[in-house]
Amino acid sequence: MPPPPITAMASQRNLQRGLGIFLVAATSISLSSQTAAYMRVAAMTLAAYDWFITLRPECRLYKRHKAISRAVILFVLIRYVSIAAIVISNIGFFGTGFSARACHHYHLVAPLTKSASVVVE
């Protein structure tokens, strides 16, 4: 079998070097609290935007279904438990007025609401 062309060997070395640099960079990246705060604000903004643009179809759904059905109940639970989970989580993240005892109790609330939103979905 003939040896591979030199350009193929050079490209393979460059690819390996590039992947090595990428792996080192990926392992050294850690989210700062400021980045986490920006991500949380972005999530809240997207949730608010989604709620706002689907408010009119939601009102039409309620007008169309005079009786409460399982589908309507499930829709409301999915819609509002998810938003509540995001809001409660952000209150815990951005809140500063918690006592140690309140913080300990509140620390349990956010995961429970997130779990409830997953169960509902």
Q: Is this model's pTM higher than 0.85 or not?
A: no
Convert the pLDDT of each residue in 22-36 to its tens digit. 444 444 445 688 888
For residue 95, what is the DSSP state?
Answer: -
Say whether 43 sits in a helix, a strand or coil. Answer: helix
Mean pLDDT of the chain: 75
Give the start-to-end residue ranges of the domains of the chain: 1-30, 32-120
